[in-house]
Structure 1
Amino acid sequence: MNQDRQRELARLLAGMRRDRRQQSGLDPALIPPDSTTAYRIARMVEEELGLPVAGWKIAAMKREMQEALRTDSPIYGRIYEPEVRLSPASVLFATQCSPIPEAEYVARLAVDLPPRSKAYGLEEVTEAVASLHPGIEMPECHFIHDARFPPLSAVLTDGAGGSAVCLGAAIEGWRERDIAGQEVVLSCNGVVRRRGTAAAALDHPMVPLTWLANELSRTGIGMRAGQVVSTGTLTGMLRPKAGDIYVADFGPFGSVQVSYD
């Protein structure tokens, strides 16, 4: 896939994000041959948009989610400004592109984690976190989920579904608390839809965060102080309808609310 084709796809995706629109399928000539090319194009989308990167999303840390997303490794995408919101948040359903609310822990960085030759360790990355929050990620996809839905490499160019994230209040003393074992309950309109824990979904939020620090370091990107990272779904994927209100209850760690108006 030559540079001209890569840039063509980046411009197409940037335009779809600006216009908040979807399309069915993708010209085969624009489908990236591998994830390396896909992530390169995702970086071109950032250039085309000209928006600050407010943070990152991670998905598919464990095999079950990897199988659902047709990948053999974790994946990541960008969250652009101004898509980091505080709970309670609302979005206009009619403007959403195949939305999926997911309960997740969200970390905010205190310091830069720049590219370097030495790998980042779990303890170092943990110390780099300013705060940890209960959250709801609000992924979107600019390809319609139909018979022509393109392969994962095309989805990676679209930020792996990265769109917006809603944060609750910071969890006090989170380093000393049972983050991994705390049950999280995702409800829709007052009805419990899903339950999950970090232990089952991703071991601990610092595990995917460390993976991302090393992945972005390896590819010369890095992360910056103040950026947020949505560390992966604890409750799987659900399809909202107009008027739905989702609440993620993290027990003693607080709750987060998103409404699809």
Structure 2
Amino acid sequence: MDEWSEAVDAITEAADRLREAERSGKPCAPVRELLTRKDAGTGYAVQEINTRRALSDGRRLVGRKIGLTSQVVQRQLGVDQPDFGMLFADMAYADGLPIPTERFLQPKAEAELALVLGQDLSGGPFTVADVIRAVDFVLPAIEIVDSRIAGWDITLVDTIADNASSGAFVLGNTPVGLRGLDLRLAGMTMTSRGKEVSTGAGAACLGHPLNAAVWLADALGGTGYPLRAGDIVLTGALGPMVPVAAGDVFEAHIDGVGSVRAVFQ
């Protein structure tokens, strides 16, 4: 077996391991142990296999999530840029309605700003003005991040391969236009049962959530999955993520944007 064939087999094996962990509900060992190259490109090659499988199973792509937007987390993983994962329609839950906790393996909640596009962003490179023009409205969001890898024992290649550790998401129901909003200064508070559990602001997301969106548009613009009108973009955590358990109720409020609740059963 030549080196290329061996690498392809390892990438497929890593995708199989993650898919089985999701199917069985049993976390798996890190996939990095299977891979010769442990870089972002290899992680996305693994992610792509399971993206194609999901689409062939009839799942509908509705957007992307951006991860690793915190400089602290980037330093922890030894990287200097974010990553992305796919959002499918069956990952969306309604504001305030029950979310089945058993769907997840090791869930955590984080508050974010979601951008919903009104125009395609294909080609590129893009400017922040291009992205502003393409955004139809903003919503508050709670992302439920999850890892198929036991104990969240992840490196960069592990989390990218695992669809950027995506789980599910909840969007608020009141759209807000960008005009007049300074998302960099938008303060966020997330509470659980009246207790503050996470705080932050838009500046925590690559200095400004629109910076993250520009990065994503550039990363995807020349691929087979450019951002399209109607897509949801979760721009990245505004504060620390919080472990989730059945019975938890999280409410995130973002100044100027509104509130959203995630209710776990």
Fold-level match, TM-score > 0.5? yes
Q: What is residue 96 of structure 1 aligned with on the other side? A: 104
Unpaired stretches in structure 1, ≥5 consecutive residues:
none
Structure with more strand by fraction: 2
CA distance in 1, matches of 2:17, 2:204: 37
Question: SS of 1:180's equivalent?
Answer: helix
Q: What is residue 155 of structure 1 aligned with on the other side? A: 159
User: Which 4+ stretches in 1 moved above 4 angstroms?
Assistant: none
User: 1:89·1:166 contact (CA, 8 Å) conserved in 2?
Assistant: no
Residue 47 in structure 1 maps to residue 52 in structure 2: yes
Q: What is residue 38 of structure 1 aligned with on the other side? A: 43
Question: SS of 1:142's equivalent?
Answer: coil
User: 1:140·1:163 contact (CA, 8 Å) conserved in 2?
Assistant: yes
Residue 133 in structure 1 maps to residue 139 in structure 2: yes
Give the direction of change, closer, same or farther, for the CA distance of 1:10–1:200 in structure 2 (3 Å limit): closer
CA distance in 1, matches of 2:187, 2:32: 43
CA distance in 1, matches of 2:214, 2:196: 31
CA distance in 2, matches of 1:26, 1:124: 37
Cα offset for 1:212?
0.3
Residue 5 in structure 1 maps to residue 10 in structure 2: yes
CA distance in 2, matches of 1:37, 1:62: 22
Question: SS of 2:183's equivalent?
Answer: coil
Unpaired stretches in structure 2, ≥5 consecutive residues:
1-5
Question: SS of 2:75's equivalent?
Answer: helix
Give the direction of change, closer, same or farther, for the CA distance of 1:237–1:32 in structure 2 (3 Å limit): farther
Cα distance per residue 1:84-131 (max 9 Å; x no partner): 2331243222331211110100011112222x2x41111011111121
* One-letter amino acid of the structure 2 residue matched with residue 12 of structure 1: R
Aligned CA-pair RMSD: 2.1
CA distance in 2, matches of 1:9, 1:81: 24
CA distance in 2, matches of 1:6, 1:255: 40
Give the direction of change, closer, same or farther, for the CA distance of 1:252–1:119 in structure 2 (3 Å limit): closer
Residue 213 in structure 1 maps to residue 212 in structure 2: no
TM-score of the pair, normalised by structure 1: 0.89
User: 2:205·2:235 contact (CA, 8 Å) conserved in 1?
Assistant: no
Question: SS of 2:242's equivalent?
Answer: coil
Give the direction of change, closer, same or farther, for the CA distance of 1:81–1:12 in structure 2 (3 Å limit): farther
